[in-house]
A and B are shown apart, each in its own frame.
Chain A
Amino acid sequence: MSQLAFYIDTSACSGCKACQVACKDNNRLPLGINWRRVVEVSGGGWVQAGAAWLSSVYAYNISMACNHCVRPICMEVCPAKAIHKRPDGIVLIEAKKCLGCRYCAWACPYGAPQYDKAQGKMTKCDFCVDQLEQGQTPACVSACPLRAIEYGELSELEARHGKLAQMIPLPENALTEPALLLTPHKDASRIEER
């Protein structure tokens, strides 16, 4: 079975949020709903080195949307069978079946399903499926000025970038097997060292 996936180069991401804005614009998302979000991870402080105090402050960004998981927990828990996985691996919500119980929002460890109060339904990233079918790229991929987001077949992306690294603050991959690959920012390892 085919599986489309995103690749995010967090070592290149500047946190400009162009992907977030492009997604919001392309999908005409209302206030408060962001199918793609840029999350800042920061930490550090002052560290004593002999007689000196050195700054160890760091910050990096992760662009995060629905990861169209291989084992999508949203689809598993949805009582209405309103979420399905297409043969190409894209996970979609069928609005007409959704009852707006928000159980998928509780379950998803990536915060992907978001509730649209006006519609009374859940919404989430659809991989810009309409554009894909017209041979175009997803809005977030096109918008990134640093070319930090790619998409493609999971196996092909893995061949190019390696398997998904476990990286803070992402949850354990085994929970849902996200179709996501990341190049960790150099400072991501510093969190694990602490």
Chain B
Amino acid sequence: MKERSLVVFTLLVQLAIGAFWMLGILCLWATVHTNAETARQLTVPAFLGVIPIMAAALLVSLLHLGTPLNAWRAAVNLRSSWLSREIIFSLLFTVLEAAFAWLHWQQTEQGWLRLLLALAAALAGGLALYSMTRLYMLRTVSSWNTWMTPAAFIISTLLLGSLTAGVGLAANPEALGDLLRLPLTWIGLLAVFLLGARAVITTLSAAGQEPKLLIMQMSLLAFALSICSMLLYQSALFEFSGQSAALNWLVMLAFLAALGEEAMGRWLFYLSFERVGI
């Protein structure tokens, strides 16, 4: 089914945009609480990691096309097609993010340029996410043309983005030492809240869904919620000595659980397609 590649594409793009936003916030926080060099070391691998994620997303998006050689034409109708806008802003986000990550990695002196690129990339990401939302809110598709579509996409972006940033942080625990507790606690708290919001949306949009798939989605959600609750608990009690490896695994598990749950949720979203008319 063509939706498989769309599930992967939309989730990867949302993950990348969310991760960029969260890493930006973390970088600022780490600069204030430690120093610019520590903040840089802490976030560079993750900022660089966003580039292959976006590249993979864009490549996967080709798989649902009947004529991939015409893919370049997807960007020509900016005037009225939200799909064209989504592609343009996604490409723009990728280029700006890559430029920023490279400068951040290379420790260039041009701080103003890095800041400008970071802000432009964050904005392009926001516009890509907005276009992606509008793309699905077709006036003829009653099941998607509701507030739940933007809500679901924002939840995916923030949930996967924050946990990706968490994975990046926990992979290098020495950089922050005991300070690691605070960002991970916030990430755990945000993840628990977002998964709760996801449960509400899944319940509200359950009508007409295949019961087996719905049960599977709710089970994955419950699993992700319990792992993220453990993460919240563990990071709140975190002591640097001896616990960092376990925490690293816990953050990774929380990320994978949330990714699995979001993939199932997105699959159900595509299955819920219901158009007016005949």
Binding site for B on A (CB under 8 A): 39, 62, 64, 73, 76-82, 97-103, 106-111, 115-117, 119-122, 169-172, 175-176
CB distance A99 to B76 under 8 Å?
A: no
Interface residues of chain B, those whose CB is within 8 Å of chain A, are 2, 64-68, 70-71, 73-77, 80-84, 87, 135, 138-141, 273, 275-278
Q: Are A121 and B277 closer than 8 Å at their CB atoms? A: no
Q: A106-B138, A171-B140 are in contact. Are A76 and B80 (CB under 8 A)?
A: yes
Please, which residues of chain A bring their CB within 8 A of the CB of B82? 77
Nearest CB in chain A to that of B66: its residue: A100
Using Cβ atoms and an 8 Å threshold, which residues of chain B touch A78? 77, 81
- Whether the pair A109, B66 counts as a contact (CB closer than 8 A) is no
Output the residue of B68, B71, B81, B84 with the most chain A CB within 10 A: B81
Checking A99, A109, A117 against B276 with a beta-carbon cut-off of 8 angstroms, the contacting residue is A109
Contact A80 B74 (CB under 8 A): yes
Q: A97 contacts B77, CB within 8 Å?
A: no
Give every chain A residue within 8 A of B278 (Cβ-Cβ). 39, 62, 64, 109-111, 169-171
Which listed residue, A79, A116, A120, A169, touches B87 by the CB 8 Å rule?
Answer: A79
CB distance from B271 to the nearest CB of A (A): 13
Say whether A97 contacts B141, CB under 8 Å.
Answer: no
* Chain B residues closer than 8 Å to A109, beta-carbon distance: 140, 275-278
A77: nearest chain-B partner, CB-CB: B81
What are 30 A-B pairs with beta-carbon distances under 8 A? Answer: A73-B138, A73-B139, A73-B140, A77-B82, A79-B73, A79-B74, A79-B83, A79-B84, A80-B70, A80-B76, A97-B70, A98-B67, A99-B65, A99-B68, A99-B71, A99-B74, A100-B67, A100-B70, A101-B83, A102-B66, A103-B135, A106-B273, A106-B275, A108-B140, A108-B277, A117-B66, A120-B65, A120-B66, A120-B67, A170-B278
User: Which chain A residues lie closer than 8 Å to B73 at the CB level?
Assistant: 79-82, 97, 99
**C-alpha gap A116/B87 in the complex (Å):** 24
Apart from the given pairs A79-B84, A175-B139, 17 other A-B contacts in the complex at a CB distance below 8 Å: A79-B74, A79-B76, A79-B81, A80-B73, A80-B74, A81-B77, A100-B70, A101-B74, A102-B2, A102-B66, A103-B81, A107-B141, A120-B67, A170-B278, A171-B276, A171-B278, A175-B276
CA–CA, A62 and B82, complex, Å: 32
A110 CB contacts on chain B under 8 angstroms:
277-278
**Contact in complex: A100, B65 (CB < 8 Å):** yes
Residue among B74, B139, B277 with max Cβ neighbours from chain A (10 Å): B277
- Bound-state Cα–Cα, A115 to B64, Å: 12
CB distance from A177 to the nearest CB of B (A): 13
Q: How far is the CB of B193 from chain A (nearest CB, A)?
A: 32
Residues of chain A within 8 A (CB-CB) of B64 are 101-102
Given known A-B contacts A81-B76, A101-B83, A175-B139, A111 and B277 have beta carbons under 8 A apart: yes
Given A77-B80, A115-B66, A121-B66, CB of A175 within 8 Å of CB of B74: no
- What residue of chain B has the Cβ atom nearest to residue A96's Cβ? B70
Contacts A39-B278, A106-B141, A108-B140: A76 and B81 contacting too (C-beta < 8 A)?
A: yes
The docked-state distance in angstroms from the alpha carbon of A164 to that of B81 is 28
Closest to A122 in B: B66
Residues of A contacting B80 with CB < 8 Å?
Answer: 76-77
When A80-B73, A81-B76, A170-B278 are in contact, do A103 and B83 touch as well, CB less than 8 Å?
Answer: yes
A82 to B65, CA, bound (A): 14
Report the Cα distance A79→B82, complex, angstroms: 8
Most A Cβ at <10 Å: residue of B70, B82, B135, B273:
B70
* Chain A residues, Cβ within 8 Å of B138: 73, 77, 106-107
Nearest CB in chain A: distance from B76 CB, A: 5
Q: Is the CB of A99 within 8 A of B70?
A: yes
Contacts of A77 in B (CB 8 A): 80-83, 138
Q: How far is the CB of B2 from chain A (nearest CB, A)?
A: 7
